[in-house]
Every structure is written in C-alpha cells, then in structure tokens.
Amino acid sequence: REKGRFVIGKESTASESCHKPPFSMANITLFAQVIRLIPREIIQRLVKKHGTDKHAKGFNSWSHLVTMIFSQFSGSVSLRQISEGLQSATGNLNHLGLSRAPSKSNISYQNANRTSQFFEDVFYALFQYLGQHGGLKQMKKRLKAKVCLLDSTLMSLCLEMYDWALYTHTKGAVKMHTVLDFETLLPEFVCITNGKGADNTIAKKLHFARGTIVVADRIYSDTELLNHWDSTGVVFIVRGKDNIQFESIRERDLPDTTSQEILIDEEVRLTGVETASKYPKKIRRIGIYNVQGGYTIDLYTNDFTHAASTIAALYRSRWKIEIFFRNLKQNLHIKSFLGTSQNAVEIQIWTALITILLLQYLKRIAKYPWSLSNLTASLRLNTFTKIDLFQWINEPFPPPPDEPEIA
C-alpha cells in the first residue's frame, strides 16, 4: 500500500531465490510446523503497528491468529469446537506459542473487538514473504507484462442476524473483491464489502502499475473505468456488454494460423450517447465463438500489439479466479461465520486467505502431486500427528516395508 491506496503489479526488490524453510523436527505436530512458516518478527511488527495487544486479557494477537488458523485447518464450525479442539492438544500448545487453550467467550470477544486490519496486514506480509522465498509461483510467465485477474464473489448471510451486510431487501451478503496474480494464482488484493459494494467503484480505487494487463468480465466494462485504466498506462481485456454501440474504423487481418474461434478483429469507435463521451478513443474489438457453449462474445481491449489469439487466451484464463473462489469456499470455512459483527466476519475471511496461502505454499514446494482438496483433508486428519512436515508432504504414503521371506 502507498499512502492509503493499493498498488498492484510493482516489482519486488527482494531476492527471488528459492529458499527452503528451516528443517522441522518430527517431535512437534504437523500443525505446529505449518504455523512456524509464519515469521514471528512479522507478527510482532504488526502488533506494534496496530496496538492489538492492548487490553488483550491473556489472549494476545499471536494466540488469536493461531486459534483462527486452527479453526480453518480443523474445519471447526463453532467456537466450542475450536476451544475444545485446542484443549485436546494439551502438551502441544507450547509448540504453537500458546500458554493455554482460549475459551469460547475469549474468542468471541476478540473476534468482535480486535481489528481485522491486523489480520489483513498479516496476509499481505506473509504473501510477500513466501513469494520472496520462491514458493508461490505456479504459472509459467509467457508475457513480459504482469497479468492480473479481477473479479468478486458473494457469500450469502442472513440479513436479520447480519444487519450491516446489506444486499437486497430480504437477503444479506458479504462481497470479496479480488485481484488475482496470474503467475501465482493467489490474491494480491482483497477488499471486503457488503453485498451492495459496487465492483466498478472498488476497481476505480485500484492503482495498477503501468503496463499491467487487467483481465475482467463484462461487469467491469464501464467506459469511464476503461478510460481511467487507458490513461494510466494499464492494458485491459474485458468482455463487452451485448448492447454496446460502435462503428468500425478498420478491420485487422487474421493470420492463417489464427484459431478458428476468432471471428473478427477490428478497431472501432464507441457511438453510444454516454460511452462515446466517456471513452472517445479507438478501441479494439475481437469477436470469439465459444465452441462449448455455442455462443459468441465480444472482447474489448486497448492492446493493439498482441495477436487476437493471445488476447483470447488471456481472457479464457479469467476462469482461474473462479477456480480460486471455488477452492476457497469448498476447502475452508467461510460459508458460515463464528460471529455476527462485521469485524468478526472479516477476521474469518482473512484467516481463511492466510490458510489457503500456507496450503498453496506447501502444495507447490512438495514433490508429491497434491491437489488442494487432498492436502487440506490430509492435514485436517493429521493436525496433531507428530511427523516431519517436509518429509510428509513429499512422501505422504510411503510403501510398506518388505515382508521377510518364509523359509
């Protein structure tokens, strides 16, 4: 963050060399070894910044963070399950940095009163730390430019219990606006609002680095937003709405090697009453036929350099952010919440994001081909198992020993 605004796509100046985490002994639990991936100095710095340990009443910020991550790892759906689950780890709590298991009332009180901004900053700091140690990259970089996928997802809430989560007259919801880094397939930016939080309003507050390619669905095809991106040197690829009015300026040639899904590639000028004034410059329109769905879509972009097939492939990659949302909702606990205040809901979402960050890090440094769901389930079953973490993620199912031959 720079002076209150979010900056996406800046190059890190830190070393990108791959660094294996410190070797963990097998006399502590798997969960404790995962928690040790979080540098305590980062937490101490953020505690000092936010002053979150004032009036902690024996349940400090580190204990709160570990407790909420435990709720995600264990799949606990109530405060009682979290408290009793940690109580069952008697003798192993000191490995987690906890003096004792928290009570239900302690967790509830701190979820309502300890600022969620602390957990948000923990996520961003951990994302940067693990990224610098080479454990987050997944996709091979095909373009020199940075690619970001922009979208949002809704989580339904009961409006009577969550009266702050406005959405419709009868339904409540919380919305998670997300910028996903195409190289790591992890969120670089997340903003949590109620269900009425406008996607374009949040997008206008983002400041992408010059040259960044932003790929988004048609909900972001607001011409004022597109003009803002173009004027700041951001390349956009968005799906256009069906009622966009335009006139053709020049039709671009399609090479013989172009995919048959590309129907047309042309430069156009918007002619709608409002769109023409908000985006007076020429814009590139690419018509694509979706073979699976049997329909056509129009992509609009200010990229006049890359081939139409490259732009179409980048737009198809937008579904990776939908996969991220699905993985988050299916593998972690954010469909129901442990508290009704806005702060409690945000803490639970941020700790879910911290957890999926740790899971993806383990998945990507492991030699065994884990799927995210299998890794989550296996860790959940072995939360308090004492075995070396890195040995386990590399070879979770070792072959049985050879049976002695019978004479």
Give residue 135's pLDDT.
65
Pairwise CA distance, residues 307 & 259, whole Å: 11
**Would you list the DSSP string of 174-185?**
EEEEEEEETTTT
Give residue 144's pLDDT.
83
Percentage of the chain exceeding pLDDT 70: 90
Q: How far apart are the first and last CA of the chain?
A: 72
Give residue 237's pLDDT.
97
Predicted confidence (pLDDT) per residue in 193-232, tens digit: 999 999 999 999 999 999 999 999 999 999 999 999 999 9
- Over residues 360-370, mean pLDDT: 94
- Over residues 94-104, mean pLDDT: 91
Mean pLDDT of the chain: 89
Q: Does the pLDDT at position 14 exceed 80?
A: no
> Quick one: tokens of 116?
């969620």
Closest CA to 238 of 132, 151, 325, 144: 151
Q: Which of 254-258, 294-298, 368-372 has the weakest average pLDDT?
A: 254-258
| pLDDT band per the 50, 70, 90 thresholds, residue 9 | low
> Quick one: tokens of 91?
């003798």
Does residue 136 contact residue 187 with C-beta atoms inside 8 Å?
no
Instruction: Give the pairing of strands 6-8 and 295-301.
Output: unpaired
Give residue 124's pLDDT.
96
Q: Does the pLDDT at position 394 exceed 90?
A: yes
Give residue 4's pLDDT.
43
Better-scored residue on pLDDT, 23 or 70: 70
Give residue 202's pLDDT.
94
Does residue 298 contact residue 290 with C-beta atoms inside 8 Å?
no
**Cα 41 → chain centroid:** 24
The pTM assigned to this predicted structure is: 0.89
Does residue 379 contact residue 32 with C-beta atoms inside 8 Å?
no
Q: Which residue has the tokens 């004492």?
A: 386
Pairwise CA distance, residues 213 & 191, whole Å: 20
Which residue type does 115 have?
T
Predicted confidence (pLDDT) per residue in 156-193, tens digit: 999 999 999 999 988 999 999 999 999 899 999 999 99
Q: Which residue has the tokens 């406005």?
A: 166
Pairwise CA distance, residues 368 & 362, whole Å: 10
Q: Does the pLDDT at position 20 exceed 60?
A: no
Predicted confidence (pLDDT) per residue in 113-149, tens digit: 999 999 999 999 999 999 876 667 766 666 788 999 9
In sequence order, the 6+-apart residues with CB closer than 8 A to the CB of 277 are none
Better-scored residue on pLDDT, 243 or 238: 238
Q: Does the pLDDT at position 17 exceed 50?
A: no
